[in-house]
């Protein structure tokens, strides 16, 4: 039995689990444990199959076909190097979410709205990655979207969740329409809907341009590419936290898979200007996403906006890979594509970890508003440590994994002087500056996220009953934290593991990293640049231990006490601490007027007036107000004015039909 066929049995097992969940989800406790245990076991089994394939022959594709789908072609599935990598991301994310759900699911108020759709969501993502024809891909894509929409709507009675689900459904439908048109162009007039038939078919430059635009709309809307990101900060926080981790850490990567599959595999050789378009959108997405995250005080919305930033980082690397591939620079293209894929894996690790941490905070306190948190490091020390690891990793600080993938992206940027087109010579350094800016803002954002949530003193009574979460949730968080460290200190294993993907798509790969001395990584050559995460880690451990020893050995043993700095307040009260809004004020004043149309109004009472001073802040979502609100208003206007058509008499309906028939005949008569 082929590898693809074996994985289809895994998908069938997930769908069977979804059916079983319908019957068992209302059983208190036991149903939750059963379903999450089954999804955990199935995901681990799929990972073992994939590991065996990676060790055996990752470059040899495996195919399978079923007599379903379109009658004349059936349903085709393919397991190659690219799909193998993304299936690892999907199923590892599913395994961690299932492990976390074993503990977190006990607190679910409506398990019957979550359990049936959780394995179905995993099955849909697996089918998208395995699909080898347009019909199967689109059907699986819609199944994935509907299952995730049902999970977003699980708590539909909570404030704004219904609106989040509605906007998500509209954007998902729009994205599917764009993908349908893209595959129609690739299939051509002969209707060759299998991917195998699309690969050798040469597309004209005009068709290639339309396909790129449609894929940016279709896959970009699901991934969270600006300006198609508006659903993401609404839907991701609305879902249960382990589902949020799947949507943010995994589903957005399935969308990136769709983009890579079409643009790098099916479309043929790219044009150099396609790199400019993708680079521009990636840079804009990275900076705008992290700026929006900095302005947030809702912890889960902050993490959702941060996902937009990381998607931008990935698209920057993909744009570089397109530019280098178009100019016959395979080594640089392999470096850029490796950076993108490495960041896909890294983001699935640390974003899942951070959403799990946010879910633990929500379970313990019932709050997502950081203004009502604080001091949780004393009540939830293990969760706070794991969350800190995720914050350091996503801030791209060594020795964790986020640093390595972003460092590889910067190394790819440094190859841009060899590009011949002036458009790329100007665009690549500019986007490199945006990448550096987004990395710096990400560090500030997660200093805020960790500091306001876990440090200081409690800002409300919600923190008082907080305690550490269950062992399953902690096991999932610490597994991901350990992987963030391992991928950072031993990145050569990951880079070499990604080489079959770059070989299949680019025809080249990065140098063999495991052949480098001391487990260093050298993107181009050791003489040009290298990085050794293991030595950096050892240096940090030794220097920190030495500092602690010196302080405890030679510092004074006398106990000294002094008042803590109270930010200018004589009384040390929780209200005198920095808040999420005040922490972001410097950044808001630099970027806010342009990006958010932010306005601040301060009302200070006159001398002698004992009334309170007031501070009012208004922040606007410029993209929503300038792009989506006018469309919504136009649709409302049209529907209001066309509503009377449903109350016409039968004679008027017949008259309208007759008039439209005349118009159609005139069009046919005048058509050249």
- Please give the Cα distance from 482 to 392 (Å, whole number): 13
Could you tell me the two tokens for 667? 């069009």
Please report the pLDDT score of residue 570 as a whole number. Answer: 62
Decide if pLDDT at 671 tops 80: no
Q: What's the pLDDT tens digit per position in 179-201? A: 999 999 998 877 788 899 888 77
Helix (H, G, I), strand (E, B) or coil at 227: coil
Please report the pLDDT score of residue 656 as a whole number. Answer: 87
Q: What is the mean pLDDT of residues 344-368?
A: 94
Pairing mode of beta strands 599-603, 74-79: unpaired
Contact, 244 vs 164, CB < 8 A? no
Q: What's the pLDDT tens digit per position in 550-598? A: 888 877 677 777 776 666 666 667 777 788 888 888 888 888 777 888 8
% of the chain at pLDDT higher than 90: 55
Please report the pLDDT score of residue 672 as a whole number. Answer: 63
Q: What's the pLDDT tens digit per position in 278-309? A: 999 999 999 999 999 999 989 999 999 999 99
For the chain, the farthest-separated pair of C-alpha atoms sits apart, in whole angstroms, at 100
User: What ranges do the domains of the chain cover?
Assistant: 627-668
Helices 330-365 and 81-104, interaxial angle, to 10°?
Answer: 10
Q: What is the 8-class DSSP label of residue 74? A: E
Residue in the block written with tokens 């290298």: 530
What global pTM score does this model have? 0.92
Three-state SS string across 121-163, please?
HHHHHHHHHHECEHHHHHHHHHHHHHHHHHHHHHHCCCCCHHH
- Cis amide prior to 399 (ω within 30 degrees): yes
Q: What's the pLDDT tens digit per position in 46-60? A: 999 999 888 887 788
Q: What is the mean pLDDT of the chain?
A: 89
Contact, 226 vs 308, CB < 8 A? yes
Q: What's the pLDDT tens digit per position in 121-140? A: 999 999 999 999 999 999 99
Q: What is the mean pLDDT of residues 202-226?
A: 91
Q: What is the mean pLDDT of residues 6-11?
A: 93
Q: Where are the beta strands (DSSP E) in 413-515?
A: none
Q: What is the dihedral of CA 334, 340, 346, 347, to 10 degrees?
A: -170
Contact, 20 vs 79, CB < 8 A? no
What backbone torsions phi and psi does residue 5 show, to the nearest 5 degrees? -65, -40
Find how far residue 71's CA is from the centre of its chain: 35
For 54: left if phi > 0, alpha if psi spans -120 to 50, otherwise beta; the answer is alpha
Decide if pLDDT at 165 tops 70: yes
């Amino acid at each position: 039995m082929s590898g693809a066929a074996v994985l289809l049995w895994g998908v069938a097992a997930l769908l069977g689990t979804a059916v079983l969940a319908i019957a068992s989800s209302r059983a208190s406790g036991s149903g939750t444990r059963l379903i999450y245990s089954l999804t955990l076991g199935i995901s681990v089994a799929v990972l073992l199959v994939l590991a065996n394939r990676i060790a055996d022959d990752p470059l040899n594709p495996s195919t399978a076909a079923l007599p379903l789908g379109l009658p004349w072609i059936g349903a085709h599935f393919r397991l190659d190097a690219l799909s193998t990598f993304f299936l690892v991301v999907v199923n590892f994310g599913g395994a961690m979410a299932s492990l976390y759900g074993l503990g977190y699911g006990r607190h679910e108020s409506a398990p019957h709205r979550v359990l049936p759709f959780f394995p179905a969501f995993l099955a849909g993502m697996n089918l998208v990655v395995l699909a080898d024809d347009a019909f199967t891909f689109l059907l699986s894509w819609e199944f994935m979207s509907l299952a995730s929409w049902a999970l977003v709507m699980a708590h539909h009675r909570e404030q704004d969740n219904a609106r989040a689900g509605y906007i998500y459904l509209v954007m998902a439908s729009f994205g599917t329409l764009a993908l349908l048109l893209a595959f129609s162009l690739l299939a051509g007039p002969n209707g060759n809907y299998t991917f195998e038939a699309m690969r050798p078919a040469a597309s004209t430059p005009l068709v290639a341009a339309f396909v790129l635009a449609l894929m940016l709309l279709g896959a970009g809307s699901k991934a969270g590419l600006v300006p198609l990101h508006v659903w993401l900060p609404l839907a991701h926080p609305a879902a249960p936290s382990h589902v949020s981790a799947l949507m943010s850490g995994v589903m957005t990567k399935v969308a990136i898979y769709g983009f890579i599959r079409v643009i790098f595999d099916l479309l043929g050789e790219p044009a150099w200007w396609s790199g400019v378009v993708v680079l521009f959108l990636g840079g804009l997405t990275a900076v705008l996403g992290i700026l929006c995250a900095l302005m947030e005080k809702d912890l889960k919305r902050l993490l959702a906006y941060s996902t937009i930033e990381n998607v931008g980082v990935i698209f920057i690397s993909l744009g570089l890979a397109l530019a280098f591939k178009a100019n016959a620079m395979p080594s640089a293209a392999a470096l850029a594509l490796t950076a993108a894929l490495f960041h896909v894996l890294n983001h699935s690790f640390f974003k899942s970890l951070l959403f799990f941490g946010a879910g633990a905070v929500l379970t313990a306190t019932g709050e997502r508003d950081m203004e009502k948190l604080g001091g949780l490091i004393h009540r939830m020390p293990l969760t706070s440590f794991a969350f800190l690891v995720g914050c350091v990793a996503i801030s791209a600080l060594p020795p964790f994994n986020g640093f390595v993938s972003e460092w590889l992206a910067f190394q790819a940027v440094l190859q841009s002087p060899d590009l011949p087109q002036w458009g790329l010579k100007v665009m690549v350094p500019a986007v490199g500056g945006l990448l550096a800016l987004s990395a710096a803002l990400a560090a500030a954002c997660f200093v805020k996220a960790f500091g306001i949530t876990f440090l200081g003193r409690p800002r409300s009574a919600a923190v008082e009953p907080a305690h550490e979460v269950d062992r399953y949730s902690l096991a999932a968080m610490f597994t991901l934290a350990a992987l963030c460290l391992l991928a950072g200190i031993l990145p050569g294993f990951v880079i070499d593991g990604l080489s079959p993907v770059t070989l299949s798509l680019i025809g080249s790969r990065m140098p063999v990293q495991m052949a480098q001395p001391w487990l260093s990584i050298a993107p181009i050559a050791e003489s040009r640049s290298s990085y050794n995460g293991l030595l950096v880690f050892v240096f940090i451990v030794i220097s920190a231990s030495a500092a602690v020893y010196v302080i405890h050995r030679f510092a004074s043993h006398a106990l000294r006490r002094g008042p803590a700095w109270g930010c200018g307040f004589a009384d040390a009260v929780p209200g005198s601490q920095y808040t999420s809004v005040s922490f972001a004020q410097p950044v808001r004043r630099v970027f806010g007027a342009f990006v958010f149309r932010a306005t601040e109004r301060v009302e200070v009472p006159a001398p002698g007036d004992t009334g309170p001073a007031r501070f009012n802040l208004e922040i606007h979502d410029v993209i929503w107000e300038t792009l989506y609100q006018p469309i919504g208003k136009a649709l409302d206007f049209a529907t209001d004015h066309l509503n009377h058509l449903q109350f016409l008499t039968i004679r008027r309906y017949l008259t309208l039909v007759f008039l439209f028939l005349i118009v159609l005949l005139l069009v046919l008569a005048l058509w050249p």
